[in-house]
């Protein structure tokens, strides 16, 4: 059974994500299943740290982008929003080129909070970073609270 609030296509998810940090970093949503969402980011000089490998902050940006989108796809976005409260990341392997793919899966989906695990892997399927993202589920401004 799907965790998503409503059926959505990858094209719609990508269209919704245009014109922000993820777009600048080249993040593209590439796959989704009943309980996961995946996004890919190219590892180019714009996401490198000074020593020529993927910047940890870029990995965190990928994790928060895919986790935040997944969280919001689980709620009625006309009434509720999911906003980041906390994120952590363990950087496990350097990557200098190619792509990294972040896969977000829920750990907890509650009425007022969600927790997501995001695993980031390189082109060879090796774990590069593992992240945990906590999201607050809030009423959208101007919308009466859900009882």
pLDDT tens-digit series, residues 45-90: 999 999 999 999 999 999 999 999 999 999 999 999 999 999 999 9
Q: Is residue 146 part of a domain?
A: no
Residues 88, 77 contacting (CB under 8 angstroms): no
- Per the annotation, the verdict on 121 as an active-site residue is no
CA 32 – CA 39 distance, rounded (Å):
9
Range of the domain at 132: 10-139
Percent of the chain with pLDDT over 90: 93
Confidence label for 147 from pLDDT (cuts 50, 70 and 90): low
Q: Is the pLDDT of residue 146 over 60?
A: no
Which of the following is catalytic: 7, 28, 64, 121? 64
Give the domain CATH number at 124: 3.10.129.10
| 142 pLDDT tier (thresholds 50, 70, 90) | confident
Count of structural domains, the chain: 1
| Res 97 pLDDT > 70 | yes
In a domain, residue 76? The reply is: yes
Which pTM value belongs to this model? Answer: 0.94
Query: Under a CB-based contact definition with an 8 Å cutoff, are residues 131 and 87 in contact?
Result: yes
DSSP codes, 104-138: EEEEEE-SSEEEEEEEEEETTS-EEEEEEEEEEEE
Q: 113 or 145, which is more confident?
A: 113
Residue 4 domain-assigned (yes or no): no
Whether 107 is covered by a domain: the verdict is yes
Q: What count of residues does the chain have? A: 147
Indicate whether 144 pLDDT > 70.
no
Q: Which of 84, 71, 87 is nearest to 120 (CA)?
A: 87
Q: Is residue 3 part of a domain?
A: no
Instruction: Spell out where 7-56 has E strands.
Output: 28-32, 37-42
Of the candidates 81, 101, 63, 93, the one whose C-alpha atom is nearest the C-alpha of residue 142 is 81
Say if 23 falls within a structural domain: yes
Indicate whether 144 belongs to any domain: no
Does 1 fall in a domain?
no
């Amino acid at each position: 059974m799907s965790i998503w609030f409503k059926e959505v296509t990858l094209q719609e998810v990508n269209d919704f994500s245009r014109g922000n940090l993820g777009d600048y970093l080249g993040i593209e949503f590439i796959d989704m299943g009943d309980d996961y969402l995946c996004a890919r980011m190219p590892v180019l000089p714009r996401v490198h740290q000074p020593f020529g490998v993927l910047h940890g902050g870029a990995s965190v940006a990928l994790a928060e982008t895919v986790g935040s989108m997944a969280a919001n796809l689980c709620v009625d976005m006309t009434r509720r929003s999911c906003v980041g409260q906390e994120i952590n990341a363990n950087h496990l392997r350097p990557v200098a080129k190619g792509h990294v793919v972040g896969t977000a899966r829920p750990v907890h989906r509650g009425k007022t909070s969600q927790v997501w695990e995001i695993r980031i892997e390189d082109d060879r399927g090796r774990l590069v970073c593992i992240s945990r993202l906590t999201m607050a589920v809030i009423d959208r401004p101007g919308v009466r609270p859900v009882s």
